[in-house]
Amino acid sequence: FQKHEFFVDMTCEGCSNAVTRVLHRLGGVNFDIDLPNKKVYIDSEHNVDTLLETLKKTGKTASYLGEKSAQ
């Protein structure tokens, strides 16, 4: 899988919980949330548009930052 990096305007635990909730509902994703830097890293078979739409369901500003090479 390609690891995708997204910016999500998260300010608190509640925001990151909302991200967790929508991603779990989507399914087929592994992700890490970096709350201090407002980043979400996602490993998934879903395309970027689907992932971005899903993140926007949190009501937060979300944007795609690009692919992150697997560590």
What whole-number distance in Å separates Cα of residue 50 and Cα of residue 40?
Answer: 14
**Mean pLDDT in the chain?**
94
Instruction: Kindly report the CATH number assigned to the domain that includes residue 36.
Output: 3.30.70.100
What is the domain count for the chain?
A: 1
Task: Give percent above pLDDT 70 in the chain.
Answer: 94
Task: Give percent above pLDDT 90 in the chain.
Answer: 90
Tokens read off for 42: 């996602």
Element (H, E) at 18: helix 13-26
Domain residues for the domain of 31 are 3-68
Closest to 10 measured CA to CA, from 18, 46, 66, 70? 18
